[in-house]
Chain A
């Protein structure tokens, strides 16, 4: 188990390096929220989810919806490293004629289960998938990653009510709770606390975890799968820009590409990280 976790940590580190290179080459994109989500995405794609990269549309696959679509560099990197598409595409993020759009497009990118980008919609789409899974008596699971700023959207709470109505225990939401949104901290822009209580009141099984501890992340996904008759939300405390010293907890790195020099420093820090 220990070596497995070490391997996942290294994978997350590799994903961070690749996504920063991708955003640097594209000269635009959203590093902060991609870095905060990297450990969770790694756990999902390398350990938790039942997938077939060689058959992206496999009907029995687990689904992942990146509702905070702007963090897509982390997802694109994961999909590429899992073999959904060739590495050359990573250098074409946000370019004309690219399969990698500025926000995820299920029709252009193999492995993207749902188009996203406009915030607040992914949980509802996940409900549609989870409901159909139940209807068809399939055992696939649906994972939806939400941003914390995204929880300002009223539709999230429409969906939260609805998932409880249908007791969607095959649905697991993850809140990437990095505490920062575009104009400032969550507390400044639109306070969310008491966040666990809110989800609990909506009938969800709530787990609050350290979103950068791979072992804890894996345990949480395990508990979610064991929970019956209720959807689970994992509120993952994360750090925006995690892994790059000058980006950590800085709002300004929500949607900005690093310069050549900044990239070099970031890659160096991520090489040196003590795994």
Chain B
């Protein structure tokens, strides 16, 4: 399936597509599901490879540990559920039975951040990146669009060790075409400027790009980095941006604690401190509502990014 730039597509769709491609490529790929295959988009794989698809029911801990057992037999398991359940209900199984034995389990949960919108806070994963990032040896990412999500899933399957790929429920614009140089662990520079850097992840990358356009109208020249991998994070790209622009705003659909903002701040404070602000949920749960309404109410929309950018620029030394 080819995607057109600008088209709105949920990244979970690309996951479903990549799974079928992988299933065709290798017999070793097996998929574990927790009763939401239509939503996580594993249903296509299930129809095509029913013998390699295991619906474990609404039992995410069991699902994760079974996947670990499959990996112990040399398989390449993919585990699907919602991000809030993968990262918290099955957190210990990820930590002790996937990451500790360094198993090749690929956890690809949907409904990252507030993209589950109207479902409300119980189904919004707003702490998962922070939780999973602290676990040794985990690779953690959230691609910005379907094109890079598909690439991320293929690269994760080929990589040894556990990977967590956070997906969106709602549509996000297609930002890239197939020529994009996407590599796990390497940020993508979408545009370069001299006044400020916006470092964004996942569904917020497109918001950062729109914010950069707004800033340009006011004569501000903006670098935008798609930091799809928050662990291992691309330190070089962060330091380079800090040197070039002297100010950084991180933009994530997640608590400001533990996720992208924290990961970037950790690099900056050790390598090259500059003025910085973090866009994200600020010590609060969100609620039911339309996705855009939530971004607006909780300070994660384009105007919030623009204002944060201006504040940070004014603090530059």
Chain A complexes with chain B? yes
Residues on A facing B (Cβ under 8 Å): 59, 105-107, 113-115, 117-118, 121, 124-133, 135-136, 155, 158-159, 161-162, 166
* Chain B residues whose C-beta falls within 8 Å of the C-beta of A130 in the assembled complex: 69
Q: How long is the Cα–Cα vector from A190 to B161 in the complex, in angstroms?
A: 38
* A127 and B102 within 8 A (CB): no
* Chain A residues whose C-beta falls within 8 Å of the C-beta of B77 in the assembled complex: 128
* A124 and B69 within 8 A (CB): yes
* Chain A residues whose C-beta falls within 8 Å of the C-beta of B96 in the assembled complex: 115, 117-118, 121
Task: Please judge, given known A-B contacts A107-B101, A155-B65, whether A128 and B74 are in contact too, CB under 8 Å.
Answer: no
A-B contact pairs, 12 of them (CB 8 A): A115-B100, A115-B101, A124-B62, A124-B65, A124-B69, A126-B69, A127-B62, A128-B69, A128-B71, A128-B72, A129-B70, A129-B72
Interface residues of B in 41-77 (CB under 8 A from A): 51-52, 54, 56-57, 59, 61-62, 65-75, 77
* B62 and A132 within 8 A (CB): no
- Shortest Cβ distance from A118 into chain B, in angstroms? 5
- Shortest Cβ distance from A108 into chain B, in angstroms? 10
* Chain A residues whose C-beta falls within 8 Å of the C-beta of B92 in the assembled complex: 118
* A135 and B93 within 8 A (CB): no
Task: Please judge, given known A-B contacts A125-B97, A129-B72, whether A135 and B30 are in contact too, CB under 8 Å.
Answer: yes
Mask: chain B, 136-159; 1 = CB below 8 Å from A; 0 = not: 000000000000000000000000
* Chain B residues whose C-beta falls within 8 Å of the C-beta of A135 in the assembled complex: 30, 51-52
* B72 and A121 within 8 A (CB): no
- Shortest Cβ distance from A92 into chain B, in angstroms? 20
- Shortest Cβ distance from B94 into chain A, in angstroms? 12
Q: How long is the Cα–Cα vector from A109 to B77 in the complex, in angstroms?
A: 24
Enumerate the 10 nearest inter-chain pairs by beta-carbon distance, A residue then B residue, closest first.
A128-B69, A124-B65, A158-B62, A125-B69, A128-B66, A132-B73, A158-B59, A128-B70, A129-B69, A115-B101
Which of A118, A124, A126: most chain B CB closer than 10 A?
Answer: A124
- Shortest Cβ distance from A167 into chain B, in angstroms? 13
Apart from A129-B69, A135-B52, A158-B62: 15 A-B pairs, beta carbons within 8 A: A114-B97, A115-B100, A121-B61, A121-B65, A121-B93, A121-B96, A124-B66, A127-B66, A128-B65, A128-B69, A128-B71, A129-B70, A130-B69, A155-B62, A162-B59
Mask: chain B, 85-112; 1 = CB below 8 Å from A; 0 = not: 0000000110011001110000000000
* B66 and A131 within 8 A (CB): yes
* Chain A residues whose C-beta falls within 8 Å of the C-beta of B52 in the assembled complex: 135
Q: Which residue of A lies closest to B64 (CB)?
A: A124
- Shortest Cβ distance from B53 into chain A, in angstroms? 11
Q: Which residue of B lies closest to A155 (CB)?
A: B61
Q: How many residues of B contact A (CB 8 A)?
A: 28
* B70 and A107 within 8 A (CB): no
Contact partner, A125, options B57, B59, B68, B100, Cβ 8 Å: B68
Q: How long is the Cα–Cα vector from A159 to B224 in the complex, in angstroms?
A: 46
* A121 and B97 within 8 A (CB): yes
- Shortest Cβ distance from B49 into chain A, in angstroms? 11
Q: Which residue of A lies closest to B98 (CB)?
A: A115
Q: Which residue of A lies closest to B101 (CB)?
A: A115
* A128 and B67 within 8 A (CB): yes
Q: How long is the Cα–Cα vector from A226 to B188 in the complex, in angstroms?
A: 58
* A131 and B74 within 8 A (CB): no
* Chain A residues whose C-beta falls within 8 Å of the C-beta of B51 in the assembled complex: 135
Q: How long is the Cα–Cα vector from A107 to B102 in the complex, in angstroms?
A: 8
* A132 and B56 within 8 A (CB): no
* Chain B residues whose C-beta falls within 8 Å of the C-beta of A136 in the assembled complex: 73
- Shortest Cβ distance from A72 into chain B, in angstroms? 15
* Chain A residues whose C-beta falls within 8 Å of the C-beta of B61 in the assembled complex: 121, 124, 155, 158
* A128 and B102 within 8 A (CB): no
* Chain B residues whose C-beta falls within 8 Å of the C-beta of A113 in the assembled complex: 72
* B70 and A131 within 8 A (CB): yes
* Chain A residues whose C-beta falls within 8 Å of the C-beta of B62 in the assembled complex: 124, 127, 155, 158-159, 162
* A114 and B56 within 8 A (CB): no
Task: Please judge, given known A-B contacts A59-B74, A113-B72, whether A162 and B66 are in contact too, CB under 8 Å.
Answer: yes
Q: How long is the Cα–Cα vector from A133 to B66 in the complex, in angstroms?
A: 13
* B59 and A114 within 8 A (CB): no
Q: How long is the Cα–Cα vector from A127 to B55 in the complex, in angstroms?
A: 13
* B73 and A114 within 8 A (CB): no
* Chain A residues whose C-beta falls within 8 Å of the C-beta of B71 in the assembled complex: 128
Q: Which residue of B lies closest to A128 (CB)?
A: B69
* B73 and A133 within 8 A (CB): yes
Q: How long is the Cα–Cα vector from A132 to B30 in the complex, in angstroms?
A: 9
* Chain A residues whose C-beta falls within 8 Å of the C-beta of B75 in the assembled complex: 132
* A162 and B65 within 8 A (CB): no
Q: How long is the Cα–Cα vector from A132 to B102 in the complex, in angstroms?
A: 19
Q: Which residue of B lies closest to A106 (CB)?
A: B101
- Shortest Cβ distance from B16 into chain A, in angstroms? 21
Task: Please judge, given known A-B contacts A132-B30, A162-B59, whether A125 and B65 are in contact too, CB under 8 Å.
Answer: yes
Q: How long is the Cα–Cα vector from A2 to B67 in the complex, in angstroms?
A: 42
- Shortest Cβ distance from A24 into chain B, in angstroms? 28
- Shortest Cβ distance from B245 into chain A, in angstroms? 43
